[in-house]
A = this chain, B = another copy of it.
């Protein structure tokens, strides 16, 4: 038997686009004489459809998509994920299902059992879990059909769950596992995915075809990396990361494989490629082509501009340099050099006159109150307004340049440098931004070395440096990592040897700045815990604040 897997880039709610793409893949697989083609989880509607699932019309369109795929299944079996209605009144209205289509019929449907409801996932908000499990025999091979998380509780060793769906299916002695997935990227995820696939194979000793999404849906980036596993636990094939891919496999060869292939994994390379895809799809799926970035001469805006130029093409990126009286000369020079290296258009607008106009109007109200963060914020908001003016006039989406370290401690101005339609490096700690810059420069100096080596500064008052008010980034980022990614409390972090006062101050800063992060752009997620939909914190909460 020949099995095709299709790792495709879907678009949420774009039924026409998604179905056309799958129909084309079916024709391709037929031409390759495949007996079966397997797509991904909720491929008809894209993942995550979120509250669109609560609209009856949306589900009707999912059903219509299945009908169209069914019409194409005369010669070839089609395995595809889509929502299905729960016919029973009790319980949630929907199941998250995988369909087996063949001979223009729905031959078999298996519902998802394990519904991730943590971090960025809300599946129990919409779906009822399966309580019945079956298998389906096709051309002499009995298949277990599973949906994503269903294979993540191998032998019930995942403390989140109480059921192992594949154990339930063993009564039928299946010969092959198909898994339709929508498993979002983080820089540790490819390894976890391989680990869990191997654990399944070790338990069941049959081949597995694991088919993931690729592409970004706002903040969530899907890296692909679909897997074909041989029954001996070797990786027969791992599809590429961050691109669409289709391939046909001879089941007998997978059964009797001696090969084991695996792509190299590199954290910074993966983050780089993930963000480039994240930018590309955010623009493409919204129907935009052009970006604008505010370039300061510092490393964050330099890396953001570089990633944008790679995602959209340098001709689609324009930058604005907006020096103030506090900007150093080398900042402007570094910014200009970067634009020339990447070939992106730049304009320079000095902000002093606008800033002075603001201060002139405010001075009767402010009286002789001293210069403080207010005036710093006016500079940042003047820049934000100029950038949004470019965005509005020319149709360029403003890219936000905040990094995860400063977003964490609230080191940024709402409606100023925190403005933008998409946060590009908001899930990348400052220490990793430096790594990204070095990675971008690996074949030559594209980002001026001075932007990388000079001490970080917001340049909002004379001789300001980040380290005036924050600890060095290598300490700060470690404390933040323990608190945010590892969810350690103050006692645990202090017990690791960090300074008591510093830890409490940092954790307090993270908590009291929740109100700022609430109002920021979606953040391209590259870690296991990003700010945004996967981290839900009270604003008025008093804990650790």
Contact = CB atoms under 8 A, between A and B. Distances in A.
Interface of A: 11-14, 17, 46, 48-52, 54-58, 89-93, 117-118, 122, 124-125, 156, 159-162, 216-218, 281-282, 285-286, 347, 349-351, 353-354, 356-358, 360-362, 364-366, 369, 372-374, 377-378, 381-382, 384-386, 388-390, 392-393, 414-415, 419, 421, 487, 489-492, 515, 518-522, 533, 535-545
Contacts of A46: 538, 541
A489 B56 contact: yes
B160 A92 contact: yes
B91 A161 contact: yes
A350 to B, nearest CB: 8
A21 B149 CA distance: 43
A492 to B, nearest CB: 8
A159 B542 contact: no
A118 B53 CA distance: 12
A393 B50 CA distance: 40
Given A385-B358, A393-B366, A489-B57, A122 B536 contact: yes
Nearest to A91: B162
A521 B518 contact: yes
A391 to B, nearest CB: 9
A9 to B, nearest CB: 12
19 contacts: A13-B541, A13-B542, A50-B536, A51-B536, A55-B489, A56-B489, A58-B489, A58-B543, A282-B540, A285-B540, A351-B361, A353-B360, A358-B386, A362-B389, A374-B392, A378-B385, A414-B419, A421-B515, A518-B522
A518 to B, nearest CB: 6
A165 B218 CA distance: 40
Given A392-B377, A489-B57, A541 B49 contact: yes
A90 B492 CA distance: 24
Copies in the complex: 2
Contacts of A93: 159
B117 A538 contact: no
A37 B404 CA distance: 46
Contact of A374 (B393, B518, B521, B533): B393
B542 A12 contact: yes
A323 to B, nearest CB: 12
A519 B282 CA distance: 16
A537 B354 contact: no
Contacts of A118: 125
A499 to B, nearest CB: 18
A324 to B, nearest CB: 13
A388 B392 contact: no
For the complex of A and B, the 7 pairs showing the least CB-CB separation, nearest first, are A13-B543, A57-B489, A14-B542, A357-B357, A415-B415, A374-B392, A12-B541
Given A521-B519, A540-B286, A156 B353 contact: no
A336 B55 CA distance: 46
Contacts of A12: 538, 540-543
Contact of A520 (B366, B421, B519): B519
Given A354-B361, A358-B354, A390-B365, A542 B17 contact: yes
B519 A539 contact: no
A389 B374 contact: yes
A35 to B, nearest CB: 32
A374 B117 CA distance: 41
A231 B541 CA distance: 39
Contacts of A90: 156, 159, 161-162
Nearest to A283: B540
Contact of A419 (B349, B373, B415, B487): B415
Contact of A347 (B160, B365, B415, B520): B365
